[in-house]
């Protein structure tokens, strides 16, 4: 079977590798002048590894994924550690009861925590967050951050993103609790280059001749695939600014959330994430912006309308005999890197049976795979 993969991000490269290992004839075309998609590592002007689309910390619970990635790079043992600045004071993130004790209003916060419902309110993002954190803590750290992050009132968002993502911990923990965590020692670009070293790749290419392939796996935007015929899916984006050798509050934190900053939402210290031994540093400041022409389509905005619109596109995609949407853009889904790889692994049987299946079966199988995704 001749398979064309559009997009050389983590999804495209993983698909290419796994299908090539099964003896399919595989090639890749990538729109940009580099591979990696968002998982892209460059060298900063002062000589540090950094990621121009935002710092990425790899983590997984899935043993298949761990064994797979270790074939293409060693990973450093950086466990993602985040801080958050509230009222000018750096605190550990995710917040725990321990870190709240010395906050202003802590009595009120603890009272509201005591009164939390046993089952979180899934009506929308805001009701969910309040039922997990109480109103005071919600106002202090979540409301502003989320409104700026998503560009809409939190009550207009569903719980798809927030569910299982934020919680108040009993004690101080890392942001991810997976056993396997780290960054590829020579960066994501090197890791993905190793993964696809023997697979034909063309950069700066989107056009293709459909008749030359039995299957086309499309990791670009699903709405773009259909020429936006039902309308545009909305994305949130980020603008990135950099400072070299800027001061950093605490060398344990690879990234720090800035819920009360007038411009930036978070900052990332690549020296820490890549465990680079140098006196220099390269700090990335992230400013949330609407995705129009500048910035990439980074985060799907999970309003009810967008979710319904995506579903319409997915139904349409399942009617195609030879083009399958894949990856975070094809499936309009925020996927962590570990999830991206495990989803690709779980999608291989669907891809292999695609032509024999009816559109409805394809759709139900997509739904099953997306619902079964582990955190
Ligand atoms: C700001 C940010 C930070 C993140 N941090 C983390 C983190 O710390 N840890 C973690 O686990 N995950 C993180 N992620 C998630 C991670 O980025 C994704 O898991 C990963 O990028 C998914 O890879 P992908 O290949 O599906 O998508 P992408 O990386 O977007 O790749 C898609 C590729 O397809 C190409 N393409 C698009 N259209 C076409 C076309 N028509 N023809 C050819 N090529 C095309 C694009 O140029 C791109 O190269 C983060 C995501 C964001 C937005």
User: Is 335 near ligand 1, meaning CB less than 6 Å away?
Assistant: yes
3-state secondary structure the chain: CEEEEECCEHHHHHHHHHHHHCCCEEEEECCCCCCECCCCCEECCCCCEECCCCCCCEEECCHHHHHHHCCCCCECCCCCCEEEEECCEEEEECCEHHHHCCCCCHHHHHHHHHCCCCCCCCCCHHHHHHHHHCHHHHHHHHHHHHHHHHCCCHHHCCCCCCCCCCCCECCCCCCCCCCEEECECCCHHHHHHHHCCCCCEECCCCCCCHHHCCEEEECCCHHHHCCCCCCCCCEEEEEEEEEECCCCCCCCCCEEECCCCCCCCEEEEHHHHCCCCCCCCEEEEEEEEECCCCCCCCEECCCHHHHHHHHHHHHHHCCCCCEEECHHHHCCCCCCHHHHHHHHHHHHHHHHHHHHCCHHHHHHHHHHHHHCCCC
pLDDT number for residue 245: 83
pLDDT number for residue 174: 86
User: Is 337 near ligand 1, meaning CB less than 6 Å away?
Assistant: yes
User: Is 82 near ligand 1, meaning CB less than 6 Å away?
Assistant: no
For residue 36, which of 194, 242, 182 has the smallest C-alpha distance?
194
The closest residue, in CA terms, to atom 13 on ligand 1 is 336
Q: Which atom of ligand 1 is nearest to the CA of 38?
A: 29
Report the alpha-carbon distance of residue 114 to residue 98 in Å, rounded.
15
**Do β-strands 82-86 and 42-43 pair in parallel, antiparallel, or remain unpaired?**
unpaired
User: Is 6 near ligand 1, meaning CB less than 6 Å away?
Assistant: yes
What does the domain layout of the chain look like in residue ranges? 2-35+196-232+302-371
pLDDT number for residue 66: 98
Contact present, 349 and 341 (Cβ < 8 Å):
no
User: Is 298 near ligand 1, meaning CB less than 6 Å away?
Assistant: yes
User: Is 11 near ligand 1, meaning CB less than 6 Å away?
Assistant: yes
User: Is 340 near ligand 1, meaning CB less than 6 Å away?
Assistant: yes
User: Is 300 near ligand 1, meaning CB less than 6 Å away?
Assistant: no
Mark the ranges of the chain whose per-residue pLDDT is less than 70: 293-295
Contact present, 266 and 283 (Cβ < 8 Å):
no
Kindly give the distance from the C-alpha atom of residue 342 to the centroid of ligand 1, in angstroms, as a whole number. Answer: 15
Kindly give the distance from the C-alpha atom of residue 39 to the centroid of ligand 1, in angstroms, as a whole number. Answer: 6
pLDDT number for residue 22: 98
User: Is 204 near ligand 1, meaning CB less than 6 Å away?
Assistant: no
Query: In the structure encoding, which two tokens stand for residue 178, read together?
Result: 């997976």
User: Is 341 near ligand 1, meaning CB less than 6 Å away?
Assistant: no
Residue with tokens 């923990």: 173
For residue 9, which of 34, 46, 27 has the smallest C-alpha distance?
34
Peptide bond into 94 cis (omega under 30): yes
Mind listing the pLDDT tens digit for each residue in 232-270? 999 999 999 999 988 999 999 999 999 999 999 999 999
Contact present, 225 and 317 (Cβ < 8 Å):
yes
pLDDT number for residue 69: 98
Could you tell me which residues are beta bridge partners of residue 290? Answer: 236
Ligand 1 probe mutation, 32, 36, 37, most atoms within 8 A of CB = 37
Kindly give the distance from the C-alpha atom of residue 217 to the centroid of ligand 1, in angstroms, as a whole number. Answer: 15
Kindly give the distance from the C-alpha atom of residue 261 to the centroid of ligand 1, in angstroms, as a whole number. Answer: 27
Report the alpha-carbon distance of residue 293 to residue 93 in Å, rounded.
33
Residue with tokens 């459909």: 210
Kindly give the distance from the C-alpha atom of residue 298 to the centroid of ligand 1, in angstroms, as a whole number. Answer: 8
Kindly give the distance from the C-alpha atom of residue 108 to the centroid of ligand 1, in angstroms, as a whole number. Answer: 41
pLDDT number for residue 210: 94
Cα distances (angstroms) measured from residue 146 to each of 153, 215, 258, 297, 301: 8, 40, 11, 18, 11
The closest residue, in CA terms, to atom 10 on ligand 1 is 336
pLDDT number for residue 104: 84
User: Is 54 near ligand 1, meaning CB less than 6 Å away?
Assistant: yes
pLDDT number for residue 218: 98
User: Is 219 near ligand 1, meaning CB less than 6 Å away?
Assistant: yes
Architecture of domain 2-35+196-232+302-371: 3-Layer(aba) Sandwich (3.40)
């Amino acid at each position: 079977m001749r398979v064309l993969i559009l997009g050389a991000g983590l999804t495209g490269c993983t698909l290419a590798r796994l299908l090539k290992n099964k003896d399919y004839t595989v090639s890749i075309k990538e729109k940009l002048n580099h591979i990696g998609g968002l998982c892209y590592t460059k060298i900063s002007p002062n000589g540090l590894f950094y990621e121009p689309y935002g710092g990425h910390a790899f983590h997984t619970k899935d043993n298949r994924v761990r064994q797979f990635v270790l074939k293409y790079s060693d990973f450093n043992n950086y466990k993602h550690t985040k801080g958050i600045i509230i009222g000018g004071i750096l605190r550990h993130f995710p917040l725990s009861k321990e870190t709240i004790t010395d906050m202003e209003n802590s009595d009120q916060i603890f009272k509201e925590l005591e009164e939390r419902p046993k089952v979180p309110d899934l009506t929308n993002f805001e009701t969910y967050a309040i039922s997990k954190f109480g109103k005071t803590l919600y106002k202090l750290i979540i409301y502003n951050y989320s409104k700026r992050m998503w560009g809409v009132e939190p009550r207009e968002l569903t719980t798809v993103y927030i569910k299982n993502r934020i919680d108040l911990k009993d004690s101080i923990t890392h942001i991810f609790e997976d056993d396997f965590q780290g960054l590829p020692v020579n960066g994501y670009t090197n890791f993905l280059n190793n993964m696809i070293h023997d697979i034909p790749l063309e950069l700066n290419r989107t056009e293709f001749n459909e008749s030359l392939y039995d299957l086309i796996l499309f990791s670009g935007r699903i709405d773009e695939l259909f020429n936006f015929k039902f309308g545009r899916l909305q994305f949130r984006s980020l603008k990135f600014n950099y400072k070299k050798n800027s001061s950093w509050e605490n060398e344990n934190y690879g990234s720090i959330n800035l819920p009360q900053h007038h411009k930036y939402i978070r900052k990332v210290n690549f020296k820490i994430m890549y465990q680079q031994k140098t006196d220099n540093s390269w700090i990335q400041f992230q400013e949330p912006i609407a995705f129009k022409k500048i910035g990439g389509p980074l985060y799907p905005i999970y309003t009810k309308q967008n979710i319904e619109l995506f579903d319409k596109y997915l139904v349409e995609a399942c009617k195609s005999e030879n083009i399958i949407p894949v990856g975070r853009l094809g499936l309009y889904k925020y996927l962590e890197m570990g999830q991206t790889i495990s989803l690709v692994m779980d999608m291989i049987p669907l891809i292999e049976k695609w032509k024999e299946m009816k559109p409805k079966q394809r759709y139900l199988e997509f739904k099953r795979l997306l619902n079964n995704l582990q955190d």
